[in-house]
């Protein structure tokens, strides 16, 4: 079994490569829930949905989120009524939030609702929310000291403001979701996907017991750098790293992950950094990590799997 700790787009692209090279049933994706929000009374789980849509071949590749071939009639109508349309829920995507929210209202856990959703989409990868407890990422803006909910910052403010702090509300009293710790303990290989280390991996690793479980098996863990040549492929990861006092490079990411993984996957563009990363006690594998096509994703997955061979 393979376990991947996942955020959104980068992790989804990596998983779409992994399923090309190993049976999907042998993969468990443990997914961030810190970006989740309740809007219009609906529970929206962006990272779980990006992963699920991508594995089902339904993801909108242009935006990176939402459903391919989407229409926006409900949002247009909502806007004309004066409703909150800042967070764009497409007509097809809305069905996901209706489906999940009704299951939760009837008493299902997020794990159970996710299982029903992924089964309905024909997904054979096991997709697990990292926790069933409410954990909400909050950011403090550097300039004003104002604290915002993650999506108010990310979508509402186009992730432009610089940050002073990030915290995960509720995480201290959260517990890992069912099967999460056993999946981590029993995996042949654990992969830290190329996701934002602060707001995608951060909320997962902050769940009590989770970081320890990952550290305990460090020798067979692999981390993939989400930063290539000093920039994130998507989103504000590089700015966030630097705002919070980390070097916004693959080396900065490696410093965060050195206690967690023995192997670090580095892009060819960053090969020059390999000696500095190896000095942290990690072994580097250098390859193309930019998943610009299905072939690039499967190549990256093969390199990661090569760690066990």
Binding residues (CB under 6 A) for ligand FO1: these are 7-8, 35, 44, 46-47, 49, 65-66, 87-89, 93, 151, 154-155
Distance between CA atoms of residues 45 and 50, nearest Å: 9
- Give the shortest CB-32-to-ligand FO1 separation in angstroms: 8
Contacts of 144 (CB under 8 A, 6+ apart): none
Nearer residue to ligand FO1 within complex by CB, 66 or 177: 66
Quote the CA–CA distance of 224 and 241 in Å, as a whole number. Answer: 16
213-244 burial by CB neighbour count: b if 16+ within 10 A, else e?
bbeebbeebbbbbbbbeeebbebbbbbbbbbb
Residue 193 or 274 having the CB closest to ligand FO1:
193
Q: Which residues neighbour 118 within 8 Å (Cβ) at sequence distance 6 or greater?
A: 52, 55, 125, 127
- Identify which of residues 52 and 289 has a Cβ nearer to ligand FO1 in the complex: 52
Pick between residue 47 and residue 270 the one whose CB is nearest to ligand FO1: 47
From the CB of 139, what's the least distance to ligand FO1, in Å? 12
Q: Which is nearer to ligand FO1, 202 or 287 (CB)?
A: 202
Nearer to ligand FO1, 116 or 186 (CB): 116
What is the smallest separation between the CB atom of 31 and ligand FO1, expressed in angstroms?
11
Helices (H), the chain: 9-21, 46-55, 73-81, 91-105, 110-120, 150-151, 180-186, 201-205, 210-215, 237-243, 250-257, 274-278, 294-305
CB of 150 to ligand FO1, least distance (A): 7
Q: Which is nearer to ligand FO1, 87 or 99 (CB)?
A: 87
189 phi, psi to nearest 5 deg? -140, 135
Shortest CB 306 distance to ligand FO1, Å: 28
Residue in the block written with tokens 């991947």? 4
Contact between 61 and 12 under an 8 Å Cβ cutoff? The reply is no
- Nearest distance in Å: CB 46, ligand FO1: 4
CB of 1 to ligand FO1, least distance (A): 26
8 Å CB contact between 6 and 49: no
């Amino acid at each position: 079994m393979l376990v991947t700790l996942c955020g959104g787009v980068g992790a989804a692209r990596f998983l779409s490569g992994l399923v090309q090279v190993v049976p999907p049933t042998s993969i468990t994706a443990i997914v961030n829930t810190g970006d989740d929000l309740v809007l219009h009374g609906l529970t929206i789980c962006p990272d779980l949905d990006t992963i699920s849509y991508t594995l089902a071949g339904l993801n909108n590749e242009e935006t990176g989120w939402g459903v391919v071939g989407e229409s926006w009639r409900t949002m247009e109508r909502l806007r004309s009524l004066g409703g909150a349309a800042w967070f764009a829920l497409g007509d097809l995507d809305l069905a996901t939030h209706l489906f999940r929210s009704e299951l939760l209202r009837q008493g299902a856990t997020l794990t159970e609702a996710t299982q029903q959703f992924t089964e309905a989409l024909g997904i054979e990868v096991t997709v697990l929310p990292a926790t069933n407890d409410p954990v909400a990422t909050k950011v403090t803006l550097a300039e004003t000291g104002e604290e915002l909910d993650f999506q108010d910052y990310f979508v509402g403010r186009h992730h432009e403001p610089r940050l002073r702090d990030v915290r995960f509300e509720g995480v201290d009293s959260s517990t890992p979701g069912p099967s999460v710790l056993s999946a981590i303990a029993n995996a042949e290989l654990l992969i830290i996907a190329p996701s934002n280390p602060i707001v995608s991996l951060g909320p997962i690793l902050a769940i009590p017991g989770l970081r320890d479980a990952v550290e305990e098996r460090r020798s067979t863990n692999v981390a993939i750098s989400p930063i290539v040549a000093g920039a994130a492929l998507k989103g504000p990861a590089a700015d966030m790293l630097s705002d919070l006092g980390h070097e916004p490079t693959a080396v900065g990411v490696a410093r965060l992950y050195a206690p967690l993984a023995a192997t670090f996957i580095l892009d060819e563009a960053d090969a020059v950094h390999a000696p500095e990363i190896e000095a942290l006690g990690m072994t580097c594998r250098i390859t193309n990590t930019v998943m610009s096509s299905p072939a690039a994703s499967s190549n990256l997955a093969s390199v990661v799997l090569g760690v066990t061979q």
